[in-house]
Amino acid sequence: MPSDRPTGHHHGNLRKALLSAALELVAERGSQGFTLAEASRRAGVSVAAPYKHFADKEALLAELARAGYEQQYECFSGAMAVEEDPAEQLAAFAAAYVEFAATSKALFDITFAAGLNKRLHPGLARAGDRVLRLLSQPAGQLVQDPDEAFDLVHAVGATAHGFATFLAEGIFGDPAEALEPTKRRARHAARKLVTGSVDRPDSSEQTR
């Protein structure tokens, strides 16, 4: 009797195929626009196959979100490593955030629109905390109070998120053509926000 599961999706291949299929569906319909059964059919496996790796659709999305945070970490850390000044590092993060949102739309959507409960997915929580720690380093150099540093990170993140959203909605024109100008806008806005939030004497004050 022939198997109802196509060959070629054994072990890690099955997991990878399901994640790839789910990411395609998110890109087409959003994080809530498909079922686990649809992801199974897209991957070419039986509807029972996903449960060998994922308890439910949320677990599948949580794994994609975890991978998204890992990619964000690499993207943000690479952009920030170019700068030495902590204020410029946060500005570089804002520009990198816009780029990630534009070039990894499906992962960006999962991260912010899937409604995942991180407390139920420890791996996802750890990946998100790793990104937060990365951003907290320059913020902590600028602001000694931990709560204020935490607020500064989220203020810069919110600014970058706003620019990323406006870009996606076409407010700045064609998203593909407006990507680089929007990255510059986000960098400039983050820089102004940081310098306005931190008591750092400018050159004119230092000469007085």
At residue 206 the predicted structure's pLDDT band, cuts being 50, 70 and 90, is: very low
CA-based torsion, 119, 130, 18, 9: positive or negative: negative
| Cβ 99 vs Cβ 179: under 8 Å | yes
> Which domains are present in the chain?
12-52 (1.10.10), 62-198 (1.10.357.10)
- Concatenating the DSSP letter of every residue in 115-141 gives ---GGG-HHHHHHHHHHHHHHHHHHHH
Q: Give the predicted TM-score (pTM) of the model.
A: 0.86
For residue range 164-196, list pLDDT tens digits in order.
999 999 999 999 999 999 999 999 999 999 998
For residue range 118-171, list pLDDT tens digits in order.
899 999 999 999 999 999 999 999 998 999 999 999 999 999 999 999 999 999
pLDDT score recorded for residue 176: 95
| Cβ 122 vs Cβ 76: under 8 Å | no
Given a cut of 60, is residue 27 above it in pLDDT? yes
Residue 120 half-sphere exposure, CB side, CA atoms within 13 Å? 11
For residue range 16-25, list pLDDT tens digits in order.
999 999 999 9
Given a cut of 50, is residue 204 above it in pLDDT? no
The 3-state DSSP class for residue 71 equals helix
Q: Which residue has the higher pLDDT, 207 or 96?
A: 96
At residue 12 the predicted structure's pLDDT band, cuts being 50, 70 and 90, is: low
For residue range 65-118, list pLDDT tens digits in order.
999 999 999 999 999 999 999 999 999 999 999 999 999 999 999 988 888 988
Q: Which residue has the higher pLDDT, 199 or 91?
A: 91
Q: How far apart are CA 65 and CA 33, in angstroms?
A: 16
For residue range 28-78, list pLDDT tens digits in order.
999 989 999 999 999 999 889 888 889 999 999 999 999 999 999 999 999
pLDDT score recorded for residue 5: 42
Residue among 75, 92, 74, 94 nearest 83 (CA): 92
